[in-house]
Each structure stands twice: as structure tokens, then as C-alpha cells.
Amino acid sequence: MKRLLIPLATACLSAAALAVPASAAPSWASDNLQPKPADAYGAAYFWLDSNGAALRKATEYRLDTKSVSKIVSSGSNGAPDGKPGMTGPTGTTKPTTTKNVNFPKTIGKVFFLDKAGQYRWCSATSIQSRNRNLVATAGHCVFANGKDDVYDKWIFVPGYYQGKAPFGVYTGAYAFTAYDLDTYDDYDGDFAFVAVHNGFALAGEKDVSRSQFKAWGGDKWVKPREISATDFLKCQLTLGDCWSEGEDKPADLVGPDYAGAVLEKVEVTPAAYKDAKTGRGQGFKFGEPVVEQVDKATWDAYKGPGDKGTKPDEFGNYTITHYFTQKWVKPGTSRKFYEAHYMIGIAKDMGRLGDVVGGQGVAWNQPLGQQVTAFGYPAAPHPDGDRPFSGVTPKVCSGKTATKSYQINTFRVETHQLLKCSMTPGADGGPWLIKYDNAKRTGYVNGVTSLFHDNDGNGRIDYISSAIFDGEVADVYAKAQFAETKKIVGPNGELLQ
């Protein structure tokens, strides 16, 4: 198990912040994701390669359950377990005035490989933190369900759209969640805070010398380029990086039914064409004779098997009549020659997440019944099969949360907060913002979408629920704030150590 506390030298957490009484179970847990720059670069490049092909291939993560969970009122008003608190948001978006809900730059998708190796995504948001490097999402979008482990190649892409990462890709370094979720799969603590490295974007490729290629610490590859036989001989004389593949083999005559046979046409004399059979076969006629009009010089110079007659036609046109028969062959091969071109991938450092897109505030021990604006990327169909969401663009739900907490026995939930909303899976991990300022596009994260419910049994999701952000959440958030992360690439696009 990789959980346990992050080493002080790695995460730069203070001893006082990490101290847990020996007699008390910790309220939080943490796991390493990709703390090393080389691993972080590799994870991000995995998703960005081939113009974001892996990003577009990913599908929404769905919990491993056959039925939609039912909710039951716990009868509790979700009393805070400590003093209420909050940290203020930061933003990079200029205030605007509109009657529509403005989507914040902070929201996006997290991508990862699940335990079956499938490409998955959930929703998430950047949040305010000491090091401007935290992402808030659902715990089950980071920690493997019942596996006591984390998902592989975990990244956050704010503002994600159709395989594009407009603000860069941010690779997860350390993940923090409730101890009970990580240990007992208890969804009362289904939330996670992930410290991410500086973001980066791919900025192209560069053809370099072999020595530069060998010294390069970032992404690099050899690109073969085809050259002529003459250039290949020159390359060999100078001991260059070149090679050949294949061999020269002539084409073989075969029957028309031979697998892979290719039909060619052969020009023959009028007499040979006349004697050839009609149909499909070796040496059979190839279509009708072709009459070609040419100038006198071409007509005089023609020495082929076709018929050019003895003089121009009645209109003064010079013509040559061509006759063709079929030739069925198994294609031959030719030797090909290549030289190596050494390529390096250039990356651009985008900076800290919070400096690029801002960060939502975080609130805890707030009363239930609050006005909430919830964002997410829903994609899954409703239980009845209806599919109103694509997962391509974010959606929003607004309303007041229930004044009582709720139980969901399927996931060992004793106290979840509830919001009436029809968003489906894919919205997992999306933020629930209280005090949302539509002009500034900022608010305070007071929950993240955890579970989806069809409470009236009509085959459609009608409620979503979240862990209640209480003192335990505040404790986990406080620990996550101390996690220090790094730049992945340097000023020249090189991979840093």
C-alpha cells in the first residue's frame, strides 16, 4: 500500500502539521501519484501525444454498481462538528455582466487509467491553496475503489474541450483524502484534494544533432527519412546514421485469382491483340483499342507496337491506335534506404495552476440548506437509457441543498448533503459552490458531486449528493496545502530533474 504520510523531505510538510497522536486514528490519508518530474512528464505526454488522441478516447468514469442508489433521510440536520471556516477564492477572469450562468476557468476534467487500463475522466476544479497547486474532485476519481491505491497517469485539464488543453496539463503529484475512504471505502469521505505540478503544453519538435539528442532530458525520438540509393552510399562513406530495409525482387506472373494479384496492362501489336481472348486472364484483351491524337513530330518518332497507319486521317489528324492485353502479377519489392533524424519534443512551462486559472475558495462546517451552484461534465445516460448529455461541455445545476442529511446504504453513507439535479455520471467530482459570484466566476467549494440518485424510480437521475464538508474535510485540506510541487520543464523546454 502506498498510502501513509508523505515523507517530510519530499512533501516539505512541517512536523507539527503531520503529527497525529499515537492513540488516535488519522482523519486523513495521502498517496503519491507522480511526484517525480520524469514520471509527471510521461503521464502528461501520454495524454497529449498524437494531438490529444488519448484524451478524446477517454470515457466518463462510472461506479461499479448495477443499480442506482436510493437515498433515505437520516433525520439529522448535519450539525457542524466544529467552527465554520472558509478560504477566499482567487480569479484570473475579468468580471462580466450577464443573466446567464458564467462558467469559471477553474473547472475541467481529470483523466486517469482505471485498474482495467481503460481511459477515464471525471470533473474537478482548481481551488485556492498556499502553493496555488490544488485540485478538488471526488475521492473515487483518484483512489481506486476498494483497492487501497490510486489511479495511474492522473492529470487535470482546466477548460478541457474536445482533446484541447487551453491552459495546459497539470499532472498529479500527491493525493489527499479521508482516512475512512482510503481504508474502508466509506463514501462519507468521498472527496480528494490533489497537489499538481506546474502545467505545461507541447510546443512542437526540433531536429537536432546526435549529441544534442543524447543530452536531451525531455521527450525524444528518432524519425526515419527515406533517401535515394545514391544518398545512401554517400551516407555510408561518411559513417552516417543510415540503413536499408527490404530487398529487390521482380514481379512474378500469376493467375488473376491469386491472392494479392495486381492487374497491369501491356501494349501489344494489333495482331497479338486480335489473337488474344476476351475475358479475365493472363494475356487476355485489356479493354478496347485506344486512339490517341498526336502532333506530327510525335507521330513520326513513335516506334511502338501500336498502329499509326501510313498517313493522317481525312481531317488531317495524326493518330496512333494502342492495343493492350492483361498482365497479372504478384508485385515485386524494392530495397528502401533511410537516414536517422534525431527529434526532441519542446514543452512550455505554463506556471502554477492557481496563477493560470485562479482557484475557488473552500468552505467547511456551513449549515445545510445553502444556495449552491454545481458544475460538471455529465455524459452517462439516465437509467432509462435517455442520453441528454455528451460530456463535451460543462453543465450547471443551481438550487438549495436539502436541510437534512441523507443515508445511502449501498456506499456506507450516513450523512450526505443532497441537491436536486439531473446531471449524470461524468459530473463526478464537479464542485458545489456556495456564494457564487457570477460576474467574477468565483465561489466557495462546499462539496463535490459523489453519487447520483433516481429517488422517484422513474428511470431518471433526480438528485446528486456530496460529502458534507466538515471539520474532517478542513483537516485534510489543511494537510494538502503544505504539499510542494515542481516545475516539470525548464526555460528551453527540457525536462527538469
pLDDT tens, position by position, 116-156: 899 999 999 999 999 999 999 999 999 986 545 899 999 99
One-letter identity of residue 270: P
C-alpha cell at 38: 520524469
How far is Cα 179 from Cα 319, in angstroms, rounded to an integer? 91
Nearest Cα residue to 136 out of 443, 453, 497: 443
pLDDT confidence of residue 96: 63
Asked whether residue 51 carries a pLDDT value surpassing 50, the answer given is yes
Q: Which DSSP state fits 71?
A: -
Give the number of other CB atoms < 10 A from CB of residue 339: 17
* CA angle 268–269–272, rounded 5-degree value: 85
Q: Which residue has the higher pLDDT, 483 or 312?
A: 483
Q: Which residue has the higher pLDDT, 464 or 99?
A: 464
Boundaries of every domain in the chain? 8-198+352-480, 204-238+335-345, 252-330
Residue with cell 506546474: 198
Least confidently predicted of 22-26, 231-235, 332-336: 22-26
pLDDT confidence of residue 98: 57
State whether residue 211 is helix, strand or coil.
helix
pLDDT grade for 3, boundaries at 50, 70 and 90: very low
pLDDT grade for 213, boundaries at 50, 70 and 90: confident
Q: Which DSSP state fits 441?
A: T
pTM: 0.72
How far is Cα 439 from Cα 442, in angstroms, rounded to an integer? 8
pLDDT confidence of residue 168: 92
Tens digits of residue pLDDT in 52-80: 889 999 999 988 766 667 777 776 766 66
Q: What integer is the mean pLDDT of 328-342? A: 90
Q: How far apart, in Å, are the Cα atoms of 315 and each of 98, 307, 312, 318, 358?
A: 78, 18, 8, 9, 82
pLDDT confidence of residue 66: 62
Q: What integer is the mean pLDDT of 287-313? A: 91
Work out whether strand 152-158 and strand 28-32 pair parallel, antiparallel, or are unpaired: unpaired
pLDDT grade for 12, boundaries at 50, 70 and 90: very low
Q: Which DSSP state fits 3?
A: -
Asked whether residue 275 carries a pLDDT value surpassing 60, the answer given is yes
Q: Which residue has the higher pLDDT, 490 or 113?
A: 113
How far is Cα 233 from Cα 235, in angstroms, rounded to an integer? 5
Q: Which residue has the higher pLDDT, 212 or 476?
A: 476
Compute CA 357 distance to the chain's CA centroid, rounded to the nearest angstrom: 19
Contact by Cβ (8 Å): 50, 383: no
pLDDT confidence of residue 79: 61
Q: What integer is the mean pLDDT of 309-328? A: 90
pLDDT confidence of residue 2: 27
Name every residue whose Cβ is closer than 8 Å to that of residue 433 and which is 6 or more positions away in sequence. 360, 372, 373, 374, 375, 443, 444, 445, 446
Compute CA 269 distance to the chain's CA centroid, rounded to the nearest angstrom: 62
Nearest Cα residue to 71 out of 495, 401, 488: 401
pLDDT grade for 344, boundaries at 50, 70 and 90: confident
Q: What is the mean pLDDT of the chain?
A: 86
pLDDT confidence of residue 71: 78
Q: Which DSSP state fits 495?
A: B
Residue with cell 498526336: 294
E strand or H helix at 216, and its extent?
none
Q: What integer is the mean pLDDT of 345-362? A: 93
Asked whether residue 8 carries a pLDDT value surpassing 90, the answer given is no
pLDDT confidence of residue 491: 84
pLDDT confidence of residue 145: 65
Asked whether residue 21 carries a pLDDT value surpassing 50, the answer given is no
Torsion sign over Cα 182, 184, 185, 187: negative
- Look up the CATH architecture of domain 8-198+352-480: Beta Barrel (2.40)
Asked whether residue 358 carries a pLDDT value surpassing 80, the answer given is yes
pLDDT confidence of residue 19: 35
